Chains A and B, each alone.
Chain A
Amino acid sequence: MAAQPYGLVAVFDTAPDIYHAAERVRDAGYKFWDCITPCPVHGLDRAMGVRRSRVPRISLMGGILGFTTGMLLIYFTDAYDYPLIVGGKPFFSPMFAFPVSYELTILFTAFATIGGMFILNGLPMHYHPVLKSNHILRGLDDKFLVVIEARDPKFNLNATRALLENIGGKEITELEA
């Protein structure tokens, strides 16, 4: 038997086709699979059963970290490391630490959002087995592809191929790992 392939790829012609195909793959219980479409297909994420992104949680953590950093930075410099009276104000007050904390909240939230998106998407990714497929260029142009990965616990070369055929997939081919 040949080496385990990366997965199976199937070609669909229209957006409604892939929308309904995605629903069937989702209902069959697959987890490690994806759709490749030349344009955004509205509602496809729901048809695929994709859950909401976890990026907002990372953003929130970034925001809290930024706010705390701002407050601690002003406290450390103005009240601890080099206490200095400015304008008759106390050594530390959240008032004048606030603009700094506010800016750092935004900055760190932005960093965390971008960074979180890269990490969760596994970016940067310079190579992906799908790129070896003959279909990929059509998939970025006028065809719609479904890719089911072999690492999915439900993956079985014959059964998965049968499923893809059953839901209307054409030109089903194995992807080299």
Chain B
Amino acid sequence: MSTHAASPSSGIPAFSASASATGAPAAGRALTIGVAGIVLTALGMLFTDPSKIAFSWLVGITFWGGIALGMLLLVMIHHIFDASWSVVLRRQFEHGLVSFKWLGILFLPLLVSVVLYPGSVWKWMDPHYDLSQVGGHGTVGSDELWVKKSGLLNPTMFIIVTIASFAIWVWLSARLRRASFAQDADGDVKWTRQNRITSAFGIPVTAITLTLAIILWVKSLDYHWFSTMYGVWYFANCARAALSAGVIMMVWLWYRGDLKGILNDNHLYCIGMLMLTFTVFWGYVTFSQYFLIWNANVPEETFWYNLREINNSDGQPNQWKWVGMTLLFGHFFWPFCMLLSYKRKLNKVALPRLAVTIAAIILLDMIYNVWPSKKNALGDPLPFLAVHQIWTLTAVVGIGGICIWAYLKSFSTTKLIPIRDPRIGECLTYHESSPD
């Protein structure tokens, strides 16, 4: 219940102009950068093993896909809780959701590799894959652990899950976007109700597809491994990535002048609190995964962490150990301590800076989860610092450019904020605590 006297219409006129003033040049630049990154990554196949390029591509897809998935879930969580403070933030997330269809298209090269070169990225796709190439013995087809898991781990399931997941995400986001944008025009409360219903079934459906997708795309790169935490781990990263993107978008629009007088300290405080929450959540999930495996000490599970600390061949520490340490301190302790401060959550310099740091570390987390599964004949993971990581960078920049272009293009087509949302008045006068 609102204690505010402000009616939705009172604060609106100044903002009712369409947000189309966004530079088309900005979108054009993003598209140029995106295409350049993709072309460079594609050219990389001439210089290096194409399966390495596929690993880089997978990092890019799961990173930017994570941001979009986080936005999708946060929008649906907003609707299901009938939240008021996040109405303004929700509109930026809705623009971000448009990237799903492009991510789906950008996933196609990996699906093509599944059909034409099975086993090149995900070994289990090829039952004749000779495991001695990666420090094992026998073939995948003779591997009891694969045989038992082959109900899910087979190319058909992979293709079905991937296409179905993207179809569901594209459909859900289109539905949420359409209703929200339609409400800008007619202010009908039925759109809010429709979005609430969409969210009620959308959240579990997204949770399941997200879990299946990340298990097939990333976790199955080492198909021996078991972890019940993997889907939740990816969800935690998704939410953190989306919140970081949210801070960057909102503060950018504030500096540009669009959100002056709209974005207030209490909005930033709430986003900051959610960032802190999901920092703890990520820490909890990641620690739980490590702790259970460490405690049970079963070889089929511990090898995954061993790979990321010591070489299989000689037991010497490898570079991934330091990546893991960076994740421990940079992905949990540092943001946790920074976000405890009330004032930093309101700071329009420090908070976006922290958001960029968190986003960068999420990228590192994706690299940490994807790359060590690429092994040499001794079974040692390829080092973290290697020339082929250039293609990871180009892939991330390329896919990112496309996602940002899609966001900016969508941004210019609608109102800056959902001006006729039933909760917009509450959002604009949102008051949680007194800033000092």
Q: Is the CB of A52 within 8 A of B342?
A: yes
User: Using Cβ atoms and an 8 Å threshold, which residues of chain B touch A138?
Assistant: none
The 8 A CB mask of B1-32 against A (1 = contact, 0 = none) is: 00110000000000000000000000000000
Q: Is the CB of A87 within 8 A of B295?
A: yes
Minimum C-beta distance from B297 to chain A (A): 7
A76-117 at interface with B (beta carbon < 8 Å)? 87-89, 95-96, 98-99
User: Using Cβ atoms and an 8 Å threshold, which residues of chain A touch B297?
Assistant: 87-88
Q: Is the CB of B291 within 8 A of A95?
A: yes
User: Using Cβ atoms and an 8 Å threshold, which residues of chain A touch B290?
Assistant: 95
Query: With contacts A95-B291, A98-B287, A99-B291 known, is A52 near B3, CB below 8 A?
Result: no
Query: With contacts A51-B436, A56-B342, A87-B297 known, is A43 near B291, CB below 8 A?
Result: no
Q: Which residue of B lies closest to A86 (CB)?
A: B295
B175 within 8 A of A: no
The 8 A CB mask of A36-59 against B (1 = contact, 0 = none) is: 000110110110001110001000
Among B287, B294, B431, B435, the residue within 8 A (CB) of A42 is: B431
User: Using Cβ atoms and an 8 Å threshold, which residues of chain B touch A88?
Assistant: 297
User: Using Cβ atoms and an 8 Å threshold, which residues of chain A touch B291?
Assistant: 95-96, 98-99
Q: Is the CB of B294 within 8 A of A46?
A: no
CA distance A107 to B30 in the complex (A): 48
B340 within 8 A of A: yes
Q: Is the CB of A96 within 8 A of B436?
A: no
B434 within 8 A of A: yes
Query: With contacts A42-B4, A52-B436 known, is A95 near B431, CB below 8 A?
Result: no
Among A45, A96, A99, the residue within 8 A (CB) of B434 is: A45
Q: Is the CB of B434 within 8 A of A50?
A: yes
CA distance A43 to B290 in the complex (A): 46
CA distance A87 to B342 in the complex (A): 43
A65 within 8 A of B: no
A60 within 8 A of B: yes
The 8 A CB mask of B332-354 against A (1 = contact, 0 = none) is: 00000000101000000000000
User: 23 A-B contacts, Cβ less than 8 Å apart?
Assistant: A39-B3, A40-B3, A42-B3, A43-B431, A43-B434, A45-B434, A46-B434, A46-B435, A50-B434, A51-B436, A52-B342, A52-B434, A52-B436, A60-B340, A87-B295, A87-B297, A88-B297, A89-B295, A95-B294, A96-B291, A96-B295, A98-B287, A98-B291
